[in-house]
Amino acid sequence: MQIRNIAIIAHVDHGKTTLVDKILHETNVFRANQETGELIMDNNDLERERGITILSKNVSVEYKGTKINVIDTPGHADFGGEVERVLKMADGVILLVDAFEGPMPQTRFVLQKALQLNLKPIVVINKVDKPNCRPDEVHDAVFELFFNLDATEEQLNFPTYYGSGKNGWFNSSLEQCENITPLLDGILEHVPEPKIEEGTLQLQITSLDYSTFLGRIAVGKVTRGSIKENQPFSLMRADGSVVKSRVRELYVFESLGKKKVPEVLAGDICAVVGLEDFTIGDTIADFENPEALPIIAVDEPTMNMMFSINNSPFFGKDGKFVTSRHLRDRLMKETEKNLALRVVDTDSADSFLVYGRGILHLGVLIETMRREGYELTVGQPQVIVKHIDGKKSEPYEILVVDVPEEFASKVIDLVTRRKGEMLIMETKGTMQHLEFEIPSRGLIGMRTQMLTNTAGEAVMAHRFSEYKAWKGQIPGRGNGVLLSKEGGTTTGYSLDKLQDRGSFFVDPGEEVYAGMIIGENNKPGDLVVNPNEGKKLTNMRASGSDAATNIAPKIQMTLEECMEYIQHDECIEVTPNHIRMRKVLLNEEDRKRVAKSMKTEA
């Protein structure tokens, strides 16, 4: 049977996962009466809640006697480590672009990786049924993007399909047709068959699977030779060592699941059971004459955070895993499959420095651990500073903001205050398209301010560009915080009296402890308040004074918003049921002493 291996790449929200759903339905993967729902591939809770793809996944369909292996990839640059390795399995890519927004910064990031690997591109312009869409302009913009990324003559000559994934049609012209078969025919026509070299077995492990029955499973594409059940082989490690092992079971992808097979030939993607100690990038090679494939290169992390055990007064109330050994084992396990993540031990046995691609990348890891029953404390995200040619350098990003014209000046003002420089300003329909170059530090905490200043209308995206000279001090949070004076339960009476001091992150009746951040001060500087004071009961009553207290509801903050909100002397306590912000030093006297010593040093 002929094989085609294709990856689908696009900016977040342009419709990748919906397209995969339609391919699965079109090729009759499901029975006619089977309830499947939407977003079949985004099958973990976090992906469904956020509406984004985090982990790349494989699925295979059969069309006109050809097996098509489809790889769904994440659109966020934060999960670039996922994309870089799975593209190694593909021979062609479908670049999916929104007919209104056109190519976005993260599309550029993934497309660049695909073109460098010499993959054959097919461009699909999606959502042509949307009002004010501009498919012809978008087609020109895509061509320009290919040209800027140094595409070859052959890659520049890409086929284009138009359609609507939601309505289930794609065609080589703007004319609506009944289904997506023109696109499937285009995949068979334009995507080359896998290149098969002569020689002995070579298979690079590009992703990891896990089964409670079979243990760890290695997934990759057989680039040459064939692999059989029970066959002995050599595992070539990244550090140069060679381990002899044997294939216990072999699986190929079929529809949404896997099928056990006795042998897999070159060109197909398969899952190998029987390996214990392997990492992504290792090569499964011939037993007698092993030859390794080049190691997968992944871009460097740009941000780090301190992960520590939870040492707050509420330690151990929620979580199952609370010790530093639990935390260390879990982080080390994550680095095996999450290539862009690094974990470094610190001087303290209870803290670890975790390096990642961005706030979303680290936030998803923390959220996953929290749901698994871990308790931990995380510090303020810091960018990674390097010394290049003796100069202090920091990472810079390209920030793209699309916003209605009346808010453009507010956006420019906000970005320039954070040391950003404008590169491009142009009009797209009723929207202003702005591009800036900004230090990564300037982006931390910007999203909330951006949405406040533009009434929620701004669409922003950013990607790492390069390391450049340090830009100096960037203004942080303007206002101080309200801190709890002592532990106890908050009362409505107390919060009502304190409302003119600021806005609260807690409701009446919540447990708090000394040093916990319970709200935002209206002014700069931190303020210690007592939210637990009850009303003194007397026999005297005055009409109207006991009317129900009128307290504004608390401000709900997500984990990523908390990560962007905290300053260097604050941290976040994360447990399965709660996310609380607090000072690193809970005792007020300790904080004053440290502040005093810092002043004398300065």
Report d(CA 215, CA 257) in Å as an integer.
17
Average pLDDT over residues 405-429: 88
Question: In this model, does residue 52 exceed pLDDT 60?
Answer: no
**What is the model's pLDDT at position 519?**
92
Sign for the pseudo-dihedral over CA of 279, 280, 286, 290: negative
Q: How does pLDDT run across 179-228, given as a tens digit for each residue?
A: 888 888 888 888 888 877 777 888 888 877 777 677 778 888 888 888 88
Q: Is 14 among the annotated ligand-binding positions?
A: yes
**What is the model's pLDDT at position 549?**
63
**What is the model's pLDDT at position 540?**
61
Question: In this model, does residue 168 exceed pLDDT 70?
Answer: yes
What percent of the chain has a predicted confidence (pLDDT) above 90?
A: 11
Instruction: Answer for the pair 170, 124: CB distance below 8 angstroms, yes or no.
Output: yes
Residue 283: count of CB within 10 angstroms of its CB: 25
pLDDT-derived band at 78, boundaries 50, 70, 90: low
> C-alpha distances in angstroms, 589 versus 10, 298, 379?
52, 46, 21
Q: How does pLDDT run across 480-519, given as a tens digit for each residue?
A: 899 999 999 998 888 888 888 989 999 888 999 999 999 9
pLDDT-derived band at 79, boundaries 50, 70, 90: low
Q: Is 544 among the annotated ligand-binding positions?
A: no
Average pLDDT over residues 252-263: 80
Q: Is 18 among the annotated ligand-binding positions?
A: yes
Q: Is 15 among the annotated ligand-binding positions?
A: yes
Report helix, strand or coil for 236. strand
Among 153-162, 458-467, 574-583, the minimum mean pLDDT is found in 458-467
Alpha helices (H) along 80-173: 80-86, 105-116, 135-148, 153-156
CATH number of 386-469: 3.30.70.240
Among 97-106, 142-151, 565-574, the minimum mean pLDDT is found in 97-106
From the number of C-beta atoms within 10 Å of its C-beta (0-12, 13-18, 19+), residue 276 rates as exposed
Q: Are strands 257-260 and 249-254 parallel, antiparallel or unpaired?
A: antiparallel
Q: Is 373 among the annotated ligand-binding positions?
A: no
Question: In this model, does residue 573 exceed pLDDT 90?
Answer: yes
Which residues have a Cβ under 8 Å from the Cβ of 7 and sit 6 or more positions away? 70, 71, 73, 86, 87, 89, 90, 92, 93, 94, 114, 119
**What is the model's pLDDT at position 581?**
92
Mean pLDDT of all residues in the chain? 81
Question: In this model, does residue 55 exceed pLDDT 90?
Answer: no
Closest to 423 (Cα-Cα) out of 386, 396, 452: 396
**What is the model's pLDDT at position 484?**
92
Residue 344: count of CB within 10 angstroms of its CB: 9
Instruction: Answer for the pair 156, 61: CB distance below 8 angstroms, yes or no.
Output: no
**What is the model's pLDDT at position 34?**
41
**What is the model's pLDDT at position 13?**
66
Q: Is 259 among the annotated ligand-binding positions?
A: no
Q: Which residues of the chain does CATH 3.40.50.300 include?
A: 2-190
Residue 508, both tokens: 């009446």
* CATH of region 2-190, choose from 3.40.50.300, 2.40.30.10, 3.60.15.10, 3.40.30.10: 3.40.50.300
CATH topology of domain 202-285: Elongation Factor Tu (Ef-tu); domain 3 (2.40.30)
Among 14-18, 164-168, 565-569, the minimum mean pLDDT is found in 14-18
Closest to 201 (Cα-Cα) out of 287, 296, 90: 287
Report d(CA 267, CA 291) in Å as an integer.
18
Q: Which residues of the chain does CATH 3.30.70.240 include?
A: 386-469
**What is the model's pLDDT at position 571?**
92
Average pLDDT over residues 240-256: 82
Report helix, strand or coil for 307. strand
Q: Are strands 376-378 and 303-308 parallel, antiparallel or unpaired?
A: antiparallel
Question: In this model, does residue 46 exceed pLDDT 80?
Answer: no
Q: What is the pTM (predicted TM-score) of this model?
A: 0.73
Report d(CA 402, CA 180) in Å as an integer.
31
Among 207-216, 382-391, 541-550, the minimum mean pLDDT is found in 541-550
Q: Which residues of the chain does CATH 2.40.30.10 include?
A: 202-285
